[in-house]
Amino acid sequence: MLQDLAEKFQAGGPFMWPILLCSGLGLAIMIERWLVLRAATNVSKEELLDRLNSYILKGDLVKAVRTVSKTSTPLTNIVHSGLVTVANGGTSEDVQTSMDAVALREIPRLEKRIGLLATLSNIATLLGLLGTVTGLIGAFAAVAKVAADKKAEMLSSAIAEAMNTTAFGLIVAIPLLAAFGYLNSKSQEVTDDIHETSVSTLNFIMVHKDKFKSS
């Protein structure tokens, strides 16, 4: 089976290599983005909110800051900036500005390079079509030079080989597009959780701000 695939790959012509490159780049991006999004969800937002709210109600800002300092994720980094601003005597506007500034830095990191998967998918598809078109052009040109009794056999063989490029392009493009859809949806889900949790934390902090012990 592997030998058959290798033969079809070679028969596909030079456009098979850039399609293979798209596949390799896409796989690397998929793995890297999956690891980033997985790391971003290491902290349960419900558990984090429960612990923070408990410390805030007790007026223990030090423990609240220490809790979000244990793990570096986009969510904990955003909340940490808000708590530190409160500790420094900042107003609600200062806290909001501080958290927004960190969010503007952290959230784009979650979405980084995901769009490239859709681009690579389109490129793989177009390269497959281009490889097939150029292959057919070469096939018809070659058929014109052979004997009449061999033209049908040679043409069918050449067309079959040319279609390998389109098939390979689609084989690469479809998983890349599926991965783009999944990772894009996942990053949006994580981003929504970050916004929801950070806003809840900000509101809770400001409502109970008077309970914090002066440092």
**Top mean-pLDDT range of 23-37, 97-111, 159-173, 182-196:** 23-37
pLDDT at 36 exceeding the cut of 50: yes
| Predicted local confidence at residue 215, as pLDDT | 43
Q: Mean pLDDT for the chain?
A: 86
Could you report the per-residue pLDDT of 175-213, keeping only the tens digit for each?
A: 999 999 999 999 999 999 888 888 888 888 878 777 665
Name the residue ranges covered by the structural domains of the chain: 17-210
Q: What is the rounded average pLDDT of the residues 42-69?
A: 84
State the alpha helices, DSSP H only, in the chain. Answer: 2-11, 16-40, 45-58, 61-69, 74-87, 92-111, 114-143, 148-207
How far apart CA 15 and CA 135 sit, in angstroms, is 10
CB of 30 closer than 8 Å to CB of 182: no
Please give the model's pTM, rounded to 2 decimal places.
Answer: 0.82
> In the structure, what pLDDT confidence band is assigned to residue 2 with cuts at 50, 70 and 90?
low
